[in-house]
Chains A and B, each alone.
Chain A
Amino acid sequence: MASLTASPQSPDFPLPAGASTTVRIEPPRGLFELRLREVWAYRELLYFFVWRDVKIRYKQTAIGILWVILQPVLNMLVFTLFFGRLAKLPSQGLPYPVFYFAALVPWTYFSYALSSTTNVVVDNQRLITKVYFPRLVLPFSAALSGLVDFAIGFVVLSIFCFAYGIPPTFAVLWLPVLLLLALFTALGVGLWLSALNALYRDVRYVIPFLTQFWMFASPVAYPSTLIPERWRWLYGLNPMAGVIDGFRWAITGHGQAPGLILLVSVAAVLLVVLGGLFFFNRMETSIADHV
């Protein structure tokens, strides 16, 4: 574990030789630590947090799974009607319902993961002030627990594709990569926002606006081909642009194959996640004093 260091035995401080671990407790230092190994050491707790979130989510909603399906389906209907039938936006040769649903499934996951990651530190403040575990486990668990919703949405998406007679191609093998990219985007931004939210409680009110703007900055309601070619790379700085575009392509075989946009997206996400880890770890040392 990253924070556990073996100390040399000094004569004035004899420690049992067989003791399993030694923890050194020190004031926070401004070192750059990722502390991912500690998260790995606590992976069972990570599993339990995800398990808890999923259980509670499905217990608390009366209609349970139906709600998870309904949300993207209703969005899809609205998009199909307004952006498709009325605004007549291009859909890369795909039927509108498939075109929108293929984007809404990853987008719904992303926005859910982002908002739960942002709130996870504040929502678990009681725990944070009462027991130690690597705080990083919390945002990781929040980003992961949305995957169950995603899986359900994905099944519905497959049914859609089947109903519209769109056969799967080898491109579906790209899906895990794209999903991972969405997860890390939510995690990376969520790391920043969750630490900020612990310091300033009104950050959570910004989330609905942020996700809304972000959605229109991503090719959810329209194809990315609407963006002029020479600005495409800049567009890729929004990692969700690569994810959404990639999803449509991976599922239907139509549209943009992952290219420049995706590469720029991956680079952008790496930066955001690394920065997020650093910022979160810096704040982590004092989070228990703030919440």
Chain B
Amino acid sequence: MTTVIHAEKLSKRYRIGERERYHTLRDVLTRALRSPLSFLRRSHHETFWALRDVSLDVREGEVLGLIGRNGAGKTTLLKILSRITRPTSGWAEIRGRVGSLLEVGTGFHPELTGRENTFLSGAILGMSKAEIERKFDEIVAFAELEKFIDTPVKHYSSGMYVRLAFAVAAHLEPEILLVDEVLAVGDAGFQKKCLGRMSDVSSHGRTVVFVSHNMTAMRRLASRAIWLDGGQIADSGPVAEVIDHYLRKNNESNLESVWEDERTAPGDDRVRLRSVRVIPLAAADGLITVHTPLRIEFTYWNYVPGAVLNVSMILNDLEETCVLSGGSGHGPRPAGLVRSTVTIPGDFLNVGSYYINAMIVKDGSVGILLQNNTVSFEVVEGEVVGSWYGRPPGAVRPKFHWETETFERRAVMASTVTEQR
């Protein structure tokens, strides 16, 4: 197989100031009036490297996954490869027609109808008019929007909007497809349809580079993965190895927060937080699966004898939605080091990234401290049954006891069974 993407030491530097939304001429002029000579001086903006010396090769027909934490440079890399922004140094060469999907509904306009938006978005994503005309019926059928195709999309529900947007994108047939975390939206059934379509794309010899936090989908779709950390390649290789390495490393570094120095620990002269820990119980090789029970341990210094303290765990997901919260309960405690632990049973949390905020409240109402993002961990799928590789819907995924029985037996003629087949 031949190389279709070749990147050599790609780097991208942003000035911190450039991350501000924009400047105004007014600011520039007032600054110039105040210190007229500042133009002569070299501006000393703070800079940071969003991407640093990233070299990679992608072969034809390969599906490459990009993983890493938020801000690791994944999107920047995609943006450079899709020519949205230019690298600060380094170069890349891409052979073939490139299509990029960095968001859902690129170019959609609320005033236009579904039909008009299909053409507009298709053209913006790189399809020709003739191509869109040819695929139009297929796109509408894929989106299941036959009845509403001539309605302005401002009247669509968000689900309908996403379906149409995806349908257009899914029918883009570039030789190289660059996809950002777009699979995170949409209902589960539709997600599955899109993932199916994506694996179709790659089985037709097309090359795909995609970013996802959905490790299960990544494992299924990608053959190779690159783990970006702080703008640099931390690891690359077969997808399963890289994901395991990434998750293990991530868990290692983020499963505990300890404040060794009592004077600088969060809190005040009544209470100071000493540590928050996540202890996976019976985790095979450092991976936390949906089946792994987790012990969460909080330790803190209590300086007021007999204080009534309640330490709370607030568990958030990646979108900062609170999945659950719970407190240790009240009760007078003697001064000294206190430990509160709680166990989240296995088969309770769903697949995803989680963050824990710690809160300590005195006398049931006086908030003493709130420490955000103390620890984080990633829950991955256990063994996968069947062909489902999306994230099952739901904030949590408790294992309840189900009972199933056939409570009325019925004789079925053999011929009916055969017919149904």
Which residues of A are at the interface with B, using a C-beta cutoff of 8 A?
7, 13-16, 19-28, 44-45, 47-48, 51-52, 55-56, 59-60, 126-133, 196, 198-203, 285-286, 288-291
Contact B25 A202 (CB under 8 A): yes
Does more than half of chain B's interface fall in helix, strand or loop, or is it mixed? Answer: mixed
- Which of chain B's residues 189-239 have a Cβ closer than 8 Å to chain A? none
> Quick one: which of B113-132 are within 8 Å of A by CB?
116, 119-120, 123-125, 128-129
Cβ of B54 within 8 Å of any chain A Cβ, yes or no, is no
Told that A47-B129, A129-B102 touch, could you supply 18 new A-B pairs with CB distance under 8 A? A14-B3, A20-B96, A20-B175, A22-B94, A24-B91, A26-B87, A26-B91, A44-B129, A48-B119, A127-B106, A130-B106, A132-B83, A132-B98, A196-B25, A200-B22, A200-B23, A202-B24, A290-B18
Inter-chain contacts of A22 with B (CB < 8 A): 93-95
Contact assessment for A25 and B28 in the assembled complex, using a CB-CB cutoff below 8 Å = no
Closest chain B residue, CB of each to CB of A45: B123
A131 in contact with B107 (CB, 8 Å): yes
Q: Tell whether, in the assembled complex, residue A201 and residue B24 are in contact, meaning their CB atoms are under 8 Å apart.
A: yes
Q: Using a CB–CB distance below 8 Å, which chain B residues touch chain A?
A: 2-4, 6-7, 10, 14, 18, 22-26, 28, 60, 79-98, 100, 102-103, 106-107, 109, 111-112, 116, 119-120, 123-125, 128-129, 175
| Complex contacts, B93 vs chain A, CB 8 Å | 7, 13, 15, 22-25
Q: Are A27 and B86 in contact (CB under 8 A)?
A: yes
The docked-state distance in angstroms from the alpha carbon of A255 to that of B89 is 59
| B22 engages A13 (CB within 8 Å) | no
- Work out how many contacts link A and B, with CB atoms closer than 8 A: 137
The 29 listed contacts between A and B (C-beta, < 8 Å) are A13-B6, A16-B4, A16-B60, A16-B96, A21-B96, A22-B93, A22-B94, A22-B95, A23-B83, A25-B86, A25-B93, A27-B86, A48-B120, A48-B123, A52-B112, A52-B120, A55-B116, A59-B111, A60-B111, A129-B102, A130-B84, A131-B106, A131-B125, A132-B82, A200-B23, A200-B24, A201-B23, A202-B24, A289-B85
B85 touches A288 (CB 8 A): yes
Q: What CA separation (Å) do A119 and B90 show in the bound complex?
A: 33
Residues of B contacting A27 in the complex (Cβ-Cβ under 8 angstroms): 86-91
Question: Complex Cα distance A52/B102, Å?
Answer: 21
Q: Is the CB of B87 within 8 A of A15?
A: no
Please tell me if the beta carbons of A131 and B89 are within 8 angstroms of each other in the complex. no
**A44 partner, pick from B24, B88, B94, B123, beta carbons under 8 A:** B123
Given known A20-B97, A23-B83, A131-B82, contact A203–B2 (CB-CB < 8 A): no
List the 7 closest pairs (A to B, CB-CB), nearest first: A200-B25, A19-B95, A132-B83, A48-B123, A25-B92, A202-B24, A16-B2
Bound Cα distance A28, B128 (Å)? 28
Supposing A44-B129, A59-B111, A131-B125 touch, asked if A289 and B95 sit within 8 A by C-beta, the answer is no
User: Is A203 a contact of B106 with CB atoms below 8 Å?
Assistant: no
Bound complex: CA A28 to CA B24 (Å): 24
CA distance A91 to B21 in the complex (A): 50
A245 CB to closest chain B CB, in angstroms? 33
B25, A203: Cβ atoms under 8 Å? yes
* A127-B96 CB under 8 A given contacts A13-B6, A52-B112, A202-B26: no
